[in-house]
Structure 1
Amino acid sequence: MSLLKAGVGKEQVLTETRAVVGLNDVSLTVPGGAMYMIMGLSGSGKSTLARCINRLNEPTAGKILLDGRDIVPLKPAELLEIRRRRISMVFQHFALLPNKTVVENAEFGLKMRGVPLQQRRKRAEEILSIVGLGKWCKHYPHELSGGMRQRVGLARALATDADLLIMDEAFSALDPLIRSEMQDELLRLQRTLNKTIVFITHDFQEAVKLGTRIAIMKDGAVVREGTPQAIVADPGNDYVSAFTREVDRSRVFEASAVMQPCEAIGKSGEIQIVRQATGKIKRIGFALDSSGRVVGLLDEVAFSKLDAGSACEGLMSREFVKVRENTKLIDAVRMNGPQQPMAVVDADDRFVGLLQAEHILAFIASSPSTVASAHGVPNV
């Protein structure tokens, strides 16, 4: 510890003391309800960090705060209660009990908590139905596919209704197609249950698909942390850039990242007219009501007639596409059937910008931001 505090690196610590630095000065905050991804290559410290959170690995120094309470000083009985009620874990290789049925596996955490049989059985059956295994309660793990066994492991963790769910490489042992299905299933469950999830992975595509925030680790330290959009747009160093290079930007970035601004150019009766602020060779825009909500689309012909004094109501098209500002670009393209401009709106349905297919294609084809020149691994 004294060497680390003096700024000595991991390799020198190993040479001088034969001690392996698993984590070095890691400081992260996981917001409630977030799907927080921790990723990195093998040996980067991501699983060590996950196991420190529930103290399967004991930290040499530092604090682990659960809703502000430091759980590092807890005695074994107190820690056991935390694990039973507040933190659940899903493992890479399922860790099911082979001699127990599906429902018995799903209720196991509740059994350890001392919940009566009838109560825990009802809860386990409810969760198994949610994950699509309601008809498999009386079967045994060996009768299930890999994806189904992983669903049982997920159901067992969810059945305890713990505040924090830790998933350590939970899907990495699955075939690619089943893995994608499990990712979709987890996203569906998260929309319903809104759990706080710490998800460990070495797959950046998985991280950007599932995560609300991502922490990228190397040599026991966090080298980049942020939203998927922020990390892909600005990797910050070569190590992170290597992960982001092959990412499908249309599945990471949202409409707000690409939309074009519009300027208000006047009113026609009660209708406010806004027009694209850039690329004015071809004029396009929208008509807004008094609350800023889109009521019509205006094309080049409509603007010409407006210039000649015609009323807006008879010129605007009522057939237009609206997308939320947090809509992924790939979904926006799918919604834009007639290839017309899309109106981007906020959560209150108010107009915030204009989006065109050509903007999306240009953005996806553009090269990522220039990687920062610093190649060292900063402490966080």
Structure 2
Amino acid sequence: MQGNHKLFEIFVTFLKLGLTSFGGPIAHLGYFRKELVQRRQWVSDETYAQILALSQFLPGPASSQTAFALGWQRGGSAGAMMATLGFTLPSAVIMIALAAWIGTAPPGPGWAGGLIAGLKITAVAVVADAVWGMAGKLTPDLPRRAIALLAVAVLAVMPFGAAAQVCAILAGAGIALIARIGNAHDSATVTLHGPTKGVALGCLALFTILLLGLPLLAQTGGLTQIADVFYRAGALVFGGGHVVLPLLDAGVVGPGLVSNDSFLAGYGAAQAMPGPLFTFAGWLGQVAEGFPGAITALIAIFLPGFLLMAAALPFWSRLSALPAARHAMAGANAAVVGLLAYALYDPVYTGAIRGADDLALAVALFVMLRPARRPAWQVVITGGIGGIALAVL
């Protein structure tokens, strides 16, 4: 009974966070610390810092992986599942419902099309804000800014897609490792609770089997294609949140599973949601293959990050002390800034801005986000109303 009570406590706590944590991954991490470190004292600041470092080191959704690991510290593997479910459920349900309602609405005359157009314009402002904020944090010096520019160049000359993005990230990590870019200061280590080493290696093996095997099954199309696209996105994206945008665009818009208009509208709607931005997958899966597609996409995009987190937990304390790992991560993060900057132009800007009125609305929304620091949900509502006004007036 005590174990069930603890699991229920974990679920309710993370459900509350999933309902109230607006503002994207960085904001989520602030909410977690306030609720779980300061208020409930489930973990220490040192343990929390190690979990954050691990979530940044691994590909996948950083805030969701942090929730997964925090749940494990509190209640083992079952606690990790309860934390994940509670944090993800609210935004996932809303995104699937919205996609079923307006996911395929054409961006023509009338309020529905105006709403879609307004959400697309909102995406321009939100991604621009993300690039601005991440650049300040992840490219604080000239060498890392050069890596970001190199990533932009790689994406500009290679066919845009997952391969180009992975090449850019690996190049950034390799350059930083060779040139010893970034801070390799060895901080104190903390032992994190996780699975046994045998289970951890099993999770790593399953991650690899799915990454290599799903592309073979995807040839049949349908749900297997959805599983492959979203699993690959979750497995290859570093930084989480907005950075998944170009990977998903290449996976669903390029093959024609989802239109560019619906993609950008869903991305804009996702900004108003609390909880993880990766629930955008629910919108895309619903539009592409209905409710089964939504569930498949959600499971597929989150699964690789959770498998990697489970695989890394028993080994992280020793790995994080290695200077080489810290150098490589500094370069990968800088490359992510370049990747997101390129995505800001194509497909976000090119797919949303059609004239001076659209650009003016995008600038106004960016001002709300950056200098005025208005909550993301207010910006999205304003963008939607602005899009309707431009369509009907």
TM-score normalised to structure 1 length: 0.24
Q: Which has the larger radius of gyration?
A: 1
Structure (1 or 2) with the greater helix fraction = 2
TM-score normalised to structure 2 length: 0.23
